[in-house]
Amino acid sequence: MLLRNNHGLSAWQLLAAGLALSNSGLAVPVEDSPRQYLLAGLDLPPKYSKKLKSPYDPDYRDPYDRAVDAIGEKLDPLPYRNGFGTSVLGPWNRERSRQSPDLVRPPSTDHGNLQNMRWSFADSHVRIEEGGWTRQTTVRELGASVELAAVNMRLDQGVIRELHWHKEAEWAYVLDGQVRVTAIDYEGGNFMDDLKKGDLWYFPSGVPHSLQGLGENGTEFLLVFDDGNFSEESTFILSDWLAHTPKSVIAKNFNLAPEVFAHLPEKEKYIFQGSQPGSINEEKPTGKGVKKSKYNFVHRMLEQEPHLTSGGEVRITDSKNFPISKTVAAAHVLIEPGAIREMHWHPNADEWNFFIRGRARITIFASEGSARTFDYVPGDVGIVPRNMGHFVENIGDEPIEMLEVFRADEFRDFSLFQWMGETPKKMVVDHLFKDDPKNGEIFWNKVKSAEKDEVTLPDSENEVTAPGEREL
């Protein structure tokens, strides 16, 4: 039944009349808007009800292989691409597919059988101890991680990672909270310092050390070791060593009666609740033979002046500004939404990535026509083998914060943009635009400055349409 006013006209007739008058140029208080249609109890015309096409519709086409933020846009990725593929009938893990949309529907440029280059710490076994926990990602979890391995560790207030040492060098980044580190150097020098979020430490192979959570919430940090075969279980631990040494020998070593050692721990303590420490001045050893280390085992990475780019910022820490770190170099990178860590490669080491926040996709070019795309979320680890071309694209709505870590003394990379600009124009155009001189000229005018921009934010007029803007 149509609604009518006192003059017997239906709502549709009134609206149509108003729109007609509006189109004739007469000023009337009637708007051609969704609200007016809805108030009149009418269906919206097609121009207001146009649906946005999902990139996972069977008839969707995308010749540019745009990124899709399946998490941010609450989409369920399906294996459809440019008229190929079909639906899924069997079991389907929706959450995992949202985290890796480019595995479900790879770009058309992917090809070959490049091995897996992604692992999530969420899939690593957690070892739970008194007041703390630890989990690791090594070559056993991620087969491509042959140069570096990592441990994610949490220590509550006052909790100690007991005195120990490793065959491998240990590089660490404080993810949150505060931590005290102690060590002695190769010459017997004593070292102590308190670190906070964004600080680093590095202990060379064999250097004995300890870690203790400070402050109300203790600490959480990322440990990186310069051998992918590292295992946290293979650490040399003080209590474990003494538990497997005859007490008569221990007594001789320390020149004390064997009874003094009657109640030593029977096995490793590993992580345990300790006493709340005082300040460094209160706690530092003061014995006759104690001497202060001349080495600095820590570095304030986030206090470095960042290298600002058009789409973010970069901080590089290697042996040039952290001299003790002879086997591990790293970059802390921020990539703003819409920006990209430019196409590049590293000639001296595999790239080991850890994602702290944001959502990213990386395509790895492995030569021989082989390439594969991976997506990353916070807590994920990524590998890019040395010399393989790649980029890091921010596909989400918040900045990416990530660490690029290398088994090397110096950070080195080659920029594709810079390489093009530093190569003769004819050489570049003949390679890429032999049959398209007009666009060759456009390309050359862009790259000829050869200005390296590690994190690039494209000009707005050159941006590719976002998934949510694609219409039927």
Whether pTM exceeds 0.85: yes
Length of the chain: 472
Catalytically annotated residue among 147, 220, 268, 404: 404
Verify whether residue 404 is a known catalytic residue: yes
Side-chain half-sphere CA neighbours of 383 within 13 A: 27
Q: What is the DSSP string of 4-65?
A: B-TTS-BHHHHHHHHHHHHHTT---S---SHHHHHHTT-PPPGGGSPPBPPTTSTT---TT-
Nearest to 148 by CA among 353, 380, 348: 353
Measured between alpha carbons, how far is 265 from 242 in angstroms, rounded to an integer? Answer: 8
pLDDT of 13 reads: 53
pLDDT of res. 219: 98
Tokens of 35: 């609200």
pLDDT at 42: 73
- Residue 416 has what pLDDT? 98
User: In the chain, what is the straight-line distance between the N-terminal and C-terminal CA atoms, in Å?
Assistant: 33
d(CA 101, CA 80): 11
Q: What is the pLDDT of residue 469?
A: 46
Q: Give the model's pLDDT for residue 4.
A: 44
Nearest to 378 by CA among 364, 363, 399, 350: 399
User: 450: phi > 0 → left, psi -120 to 50 → alpha, else beta; which?
Assistant: left
Kindly give the confidence (pLDDT) of every residue in the chain, 472 residues in length, as a single tens digit, with 9 standing for 90 and above.
444 444 454 544 544 555 444 444 444 444 566 656 667 777 666 655 555 679 999 999 999 999 999 999 999 999 999 999 999 999 999 999 999 999 999 999 999 999 999 999 999 999 999 999 999 999 999 999 999 999 999 999 999 999 999 999 999 999 999 999 999 999 999 999 999 999 999 999 999 999 999 999 999 999 999 999 999 999 999 999 999 999 999 999 999 999 999 999 999 999 999 999 999 999 999 999 999 999 999 999 999 999 999 999 999 999 999 999 999 999 999 999 999 999 999 999 999 999 999 999 999 999 999 999 999 999 999 999 999 999 999 999 999 999 999 999 999 999 999 999 999 999 999 999 999 999 999 999 999 999 999 999 998 766 655 444 444 3
Residue type, 413: D
d(CA 159, CA 177): 13
Q: Do residues 310 and 334 make contact, with C-beta atoms less than 8 angstroms apart? A: no
- Write down the pLDDT at residue 47: 57
CB 284 within 8 A of CB 277: no
- Residue 460 is predicted with a pLDDT of 74
C-alpha 78/C-alpha 282 separation (Å) is 61
